Amino acid sequence: MALRAVAEVNLAAIERNAARLCARIGAHVRLCAVVKADGYGHGAVPSARAALRGGAVELAVATAAEAGELRRAGLSEPILVLGAISAEELPDAVMAGAELTVWDPAFVSTLRSQARARQTRIGVHVKLDSGLGRLGTRDARQALELVREVVASPELHLSGVMTHLATADGDLVFASQQLDLFDTFEAEARALASTDITAHAANSAATLRLDRSHFDMVRAGIALYGGDPMNRDPADHQLEPALTLRTYVAALKPIAVGESTGYGRRFISQRESVIATIPIGYGDGLVRALANNCDVLIGGRRYPLCGMVSMDNITVDVGPEPPLRVGDPVTLIGVDGAERQTAEDLAQRIGTISYEAFCLISKRVPRLHHRDGVPVDGAHGG
């Protein structure tokens, strides 16, 4: 194996996941592909292109820099910046022609000034905090006042109104209460708007579980990449994991009873066995909490990680007479023969979610993009 560790990203799987989500929401609802955090670690630009091929019509990011990256790659579709924008970032967001999320009157005033200075018109989405408790105003009256102000401002365009659900992956009762609040706000905002607007509330979990949350558009992130927003199994929703994390066997050495491997002697062998050293570690995104708490797949079999995860290596107990050789491929996320390990499996081991497992994979790990095994240019996504 030429590379010490590699994340292979199947863009065709992202495309098919987007198509499945489009079929799920129906022809009258638009799919916005969320490609923030470098496409959840999959590569923002190639992932965006794949999602658009699968039926997405808009893109969403968290920062001005992320919007700029998509524009420099030649993507012309609408881009919504979901996150807060500082005064320093704002010119970059405007330069990218991104639509911005607003909830604060002072920020709306700043946007008007920026639009006049640049002789442009800025699209905005007014955000109601219906229960997540982060960005947005909890005061529906203030949100409606912002709608009025934006509608009255020739420098701004009211592109949409939005909220974000806190428990669509779990408590649907609370999610429905949030939607009750948003229903009222959305109807009143439409009455104030001089043109048609886009109402949106659904994340991946709501897209799959709450039809009433779909409105005009859904914002799907983790589901595009074949992750389960409920952190169980993507197959439950006919989603295809797009990312496979692989490395290889770098060394094989015997270990005797009472001998140890790794920092802190966290593993002391109770038998005569063989230890495989695998060149991947927390410098690549495999966190230390997986010490003595993870499996790897080699040759269609499952083997336990033994000892501490170090920055660059892990060690695996492969048994006293392993049918392995140096150079054999090792799978951390993906399928090997009849064995399968998902990002959700790893996440559950350490009490987190697949979103974080994907995002933790560091830039030291190259992303190799392909379409069902056929390599493509990672910058363009084929």
3-state secondary structure of 13: helix
pLDDT of residue 180: 97
CA pair distance 331, 341, nearest whole angstrom: 8
Residue 87 in any domain: the answer is yes
Residue 132 is assigned to a structural domain of this protein: yes
Cross-strand pairs, 156: 122
User: Residue 252's pLDDT band (boundaries 50, 70, 90)?
Assistant: very high
Residue 103 confidence (pLDDT) above 90: yes
Each residue of 71-90: pLDDT tens digit?
Answer: 999 999 999 999 999 999 99
Domain CATH code at residue 140: 3.20.20.10
Sign of the dihedral through C-alpha 72, 160, 90, 103: negative
The whole-angstrom distance between residue 107's C-alpha and the CA centroid of its chain comes to 27
CA distances for 292 relative to 303, 311, 324, 330, angstroms: 11, 15, 21, 17
pLDDT surpassing 60 at residue 382:
no
One domain, residues 276 and 333: yes
For residue 238, what pLDDT band results from cuts at 50, 70 and 90?
very high
Give the whole-angstrom CA distance, residue 228 versus residue 342.
Answer: 10
pLDDT at 381 over 70: no
Q: Catalytic residue at 225?
A: no
**5-33: pLDDT as tens digits:** 999 999 999 999 999 999 999 999 999 99
Number of structural domains, the chain?
Answer: 2
Tell me: pLDDT of 1 over 50.
no
**Given the residues 36, 40, 248, 303, the one annotated as active site:** 36
Same domain, 209 and 334: no
Provide the pLDDT confidence category of residue 200 given band limits of 50, 70 and 90.
very high
Pairing of strands 314-317, 5-10: unpaired
Rounded Cα gap, residues 224 and 7, in angstroms = 17
Reply yes or no on whether the pLDDT at 2 is more than 70. Answer: no
Please spell the DSSP secondary structure of 24-50, one letter per residue.
Answer: HH-TTSEEEEE-HHHHHTT-HHHHHHH
Residue 350 in any domain: the answer is no
- Residue 369 in any domain: the answer is no
pTM of whole model > 0.75? yes
Host H or E run for residue 49 = helix 44-53
Residue 182 and residue 287 in one domain: no
117 and 212 together in one domain: yes
Catalytic pick from 127, 225, 248, 263?
263
Find tokens 């695996």 and name the residue: 316
Q: Which amino acid is at 58?
A: E
- Full domain range(s) for residue 333: 243-341
Average pLDDT, the chain: 96
pLDDT of residue 194: 78
> Using an 8 Å Cβ cutoff, are 266 and 341 in contact?
no
Selection from 323, 322, 305 nearest residue 314 by Cα: 305
Q: Are residues 150 and 257 in the same domain?
A: no
Tally Cβ neighbours within 10 Å of residue 172.
17
Question: Rounded to an integer, what distance in angstroms lies between the CA atom of residue 229 and that of residue 15?
Answer: 18
Instruction: Specify whether 163 is located in the same domain as 304.
Output: no
98 and 155 co-located in one domain: yes
User: At 329, which CATH number?
Assistant: 2.40.37.10
Decide if 218 contacts 205 (C-beta within 8 A).
no
Quick check: is 303 catalytic?
no
